[in-house]
Amino acid sequence: MLKELQRMFREIPRWLKIAVIASVVLSWVPLAMVAKARFGTSARPRLHVVFNMDNQPRFKAQQTNPLFSDRREARPAVEGTVPFALNSGNPVIETGKLDGGWIEAIPIEVDLPLLRRGEDRFHIYCEPCHGAAGYGDGPVAKRADELQEGSWTQPSSFHTDLVRERPSGHLFNTISHGIRNMPAYGPQVPVRDRWAIVSYIRALQLSRNAGLDDVPPEFVAKLK
C-alpha cells in the first residue's frame, strides 16, 4: 500500500508538485495579512469603506478655532447666562433637613399660585407614574402592568399612611434624589418647583382623606 502511494507520488510531474506547494504557501498570504492588520500597529488609519457619520469635523478642547476673531475654541458664556439651579442660599430649603432631621412643614410660603405651579409640575413629572390622583396608577404604570415584564416596581400611592405621614422634607428629598426604585427629579425640577409639587401632594392627600371638620362651614350644609 505504502509502496503503491510512493510510486504514484513519483509519477506526478515535478512542475505540478511545485505548483501545488506554491499555491498552498501563497494561500497563507491573506491570512498572514489579516493577522498582521489585526495585531500590528500602523500610523496610517484603517481602511474605512462605509463612513456613516463616524467622523465629523470638530474642535478638540483648547485647540485654536479660526472661525472666531479671538481664535478660542471654548466659547465664553453668553452675557446674562444664569446658572441652571439658582441656589436659595438656605440649606433648609435646599435639602428639606434641619439639624439632621426632616422638616415637617413646607419652608416657603404656600399660596394659590404655588399650588397651581405644583399641580402643573406634578402633571408633567409625576403623573405618568403616580397617576392624576396619586394612587400609583399613571399611564406608565398601567402600560408596565400590561407588558408583564416582571421588572416593574409599582409606583407608591400617596394615600397610604406611610406616605401621608412622611414629613414634607422627606417628600422633597424623594423628588430631589429619588427613593429605592424611583429615579431622582432634582436635576430637572428646580428647588422652588419641588416644594410646589410637595404642596400639591399635600392637597391631593387632603382631598382623599378629609373629615367634615376640614370643610369650610358654609359648605357643610351642602354636603349633608
- Tell me the backbone φ, ψ of residue 207, rounded to 5 degrees: -65, -25
- Residues 107-126: x/- map of binding to ligand HEC (CB under 6 A)? ------------------xx
Count CA atoms within 13 Å of residue 1 on its CB side: 0
- Residue from 129, 144, 196, 204 in contact with ligand HEC (CB under 6 A): 129
- Give the residue with the Cβ less far from ligand HEC, 185 or 191: 185
**Under rule CB under 6 A, residue 166 binds ligand HEC:** yes
CA 63 to chain centroid, in Å, comes to 31
- Residue from 115, 133, 179, 203 in contact with ligand HEC (CB under 6 A): 179
| Total of residues contacting ligand HEC (CB under 6 A) | 21
Q: Least CB distance from residue 218 to ligand HEC, whole Å?
A: 32
- Residue from 97, 115, 119, 128 in contact with ligand HEC (CB under 6 A): 128
> Which alpha helices (DSSP H) does 84-156 contain, by range?
91-95, 112-125, 127-130, 139-147
- Residue from 108, 163, 184, 203 in contact with ligand HEC (CB under 6 A): 163
Q: Least CB distance from residue 32 to ligand HEC, whole Å?
A: 55
**Under rule CB under 6 A, residue 171 binds ligand HEC:** yes
Q: Would you tell me how many other CB atoms lie within 10 Å of the CB of residue 191?
A: 21
- Residue from 168, 173, 174, 205 in contact with ligand HEC (CB under 6 A): 174
Q: Least CB distance from residue 132 to ligand HEC, whole Å?
A: 12
Count CA atoms within 13 Å of residue 61 on its CB side: 0
Burial of 211 by CB count in 10 Å (0-12 exposed, 13-18 middle, 19+ buried)? exposed
CA dist 173 → 32, 101, 104, 198, 200 (Å): 62, 12, 12, 10, 15
Q: Least CB distance from residue 99 to ligand HEC, whole Å?
A: 21
The closest alpha carbon to 192, from 102, 104, 117, belongs to 117
d(CA 115, CA 121): 10
- Give the residue with the Cβ less far from ligand HEC, 6 or 154: 154
Residues that bind ligand HEC (CB under 6 A): 125-126, 128-130, 140, 153, 155-156, 163, 166, 171, 174-175, 179-182, 185, 197, 201
